[in-house]
Amino acid sequence: MAKNTSNSHSVTSKGTTQAGQSHGSQIKGPGIFLAQFCQDKPPFNNLKALCAWVASLGYKAVQIPTWDKRLFDLSLAHESKGYCDEIQCIVSEAGLSISELSTHLQGQLVAVHPAYDKQFDGFAVDEVKNNPQARTQWAIEQVGMAAKVSANFGLTAHASFSGALLWQTVYPWPQRPAGLVEDGFKALAKRWLPILNKFDEAGVDICYELHPGEDLHDGVTFERFLEATGNHQRVNILYDPSHFILQQLDYLAFIDIYHERIKAFHVKDAEFRPNGRSGVYGGYQDWQNRPGRFRSLGDGQIDFKQIFSKLTQYGYQGWAVLEWECCLKHPEDGAKEGAPFIEKHLIRTPEHAFDDFASSGEDASLNRQILGL
């Protein structure tokens, strides 16, 4: 696999490096991830009402969490094309599209270290709780079902987490035994390869949100997993800069390196303000007191003008989807502000270059004269 030695290159689907850009592309948006807005009170307790609400705010697409049966039943969607048609009708009647389906919680459960069994059991259905093997199998089946269901909706990208077998060793103390990291990624890839093959058959990319707590949390760990899966073409990235600023990773250079694998995009803001008492690790503090905090769009430090510019430059044609997480602002206010924020960052690409007015056309003879040939 290619070594990333320059920010002007990218990891391609074959693991080689290649510079490039695409003209005429257009990011779609604004979309919104529904997970953080689900509640037991209307209009947040069913898909139809929630779609009507987000459409009234100016959103054009929804990313649907597949674990919340108030909104969506993944097993039923896998069994019934008619149910998929019903869901599509609800979304379409609100004037919306489906950007992606999400299996973030099920993806997390594909790989869980025993140290986190109790904490992650809450993500599973009651039938498999307190049974790690059954929980893992359930999660693999769930994510696998999402391949066919995504294809039923005509989607080409799917959002998920990778899960983690190594996260508890993220800091190199105690010293890791030789080969531990390699064995961990081989084991993780072994669990995911059957799922990836289902997505390949369905023509859908799995976009892993690179996120602390997952074995795939930055560029290096993404590359390790990509290599362990044999550079599987369906291993791709859900780009979310908020997780990178909290890790103090260069989120703009990341696009230069990995743009060929970025197939989904969470528009989420964040800030990192270190102080004399705590830094990246946060001191076990709550979100309001951590130096690194998620914020509503426009309230953090992320340079979204540059992000949208780079994604446009490299031809990203997927959705820009708000994922709202903020420890200070009310979610309804964050949602209201999110749609116009994304809208104003969308870039309509030109049909011709700005300096075409000065072009003298192509003339081989003239070129030779200018070169002195």
State the DSSP string of 240-306: -HHHHHHHT--HHHHHHHHGGGEEEEEE-EEEE---SS--TTGGG--GGGSSEEEE-TTSSS--HHH
> Is there a domain that residue 2 lies in?
no
Q: Mean pLDDT of successive 10-residue segments in the chain (373 residues)?
A: 42 41 70 97 96 98 98 98 98 98 98 97 97 98 98 98 98 97 98 98 98 98 98 98 98 98 98 97 97 98 98 97 97 98 94 75 91 96
Examine residue 181 and state whether it is found in any structural domain, yes or no. Answer: yes
Is 293 within a domain? yes
Structural domain including 298 reads 28-370
Q: What is the CA radius of gyration of the chain?
A: 22
Residues 6+ apart with CB under 8 A from 281: none
Residues constituting the chain: 373
- 271 token code pair: 């800030």
- Number of separate domains in the chain: 1
Q: Is residue 8 part of a domain?
A: no
**pLDDT the model gives residue 2:** 38
In a domain, 249, yes or no: yes
In a domain, 9, yes or no: no
Q: Which amino acid is at 84?
A: C
User: Please, what's the b/e burial string for 175-207 (b: 16 or more CB within 10 A of its CB; e: otherwise)?
Assistant: eeeeeeeeebbbebbebbbebbebbeebebbbb
What CA–CA distance (Å, rounded) separates 306 from 63? Answer: 24
Number of Cβ within 10 Å of residue 344's Cβ equals: 11
Q: In whole angstroms, give the CA distance from residue 150 to residue 160.
A: 13
Q: Which neighbouring-strand residues pair with 33?
A: 63
Q: What is the CATH number of the domain that holds 154?
A: 3.20.20.150
Question: Which of the 8 DSSP states describes residue 170?
Answer: -
Contact call for residues 125 and 134 (beta carbons, < 8 A): no
Question: How far is 123 from 109, CA to CA, in rounded Å?
Answer: 8
Residue type, 250: D
> Any residues with CB less than 8 A from the CB of 345 and at least 6 apart, and which?
304, 305, 308, 320
Residue 6 domain-assigned (yes or no):
no
Residue 232: what pLDDT? 98
Question: Of 61, 56, 4, nearest to 30 (Cα)?
Answer: 61
Asked if residue 164 is part of any domain, the answer here is yes
- List the one residue out of 128, 109, 123, 114 whose CA is nearest residue 191: 109
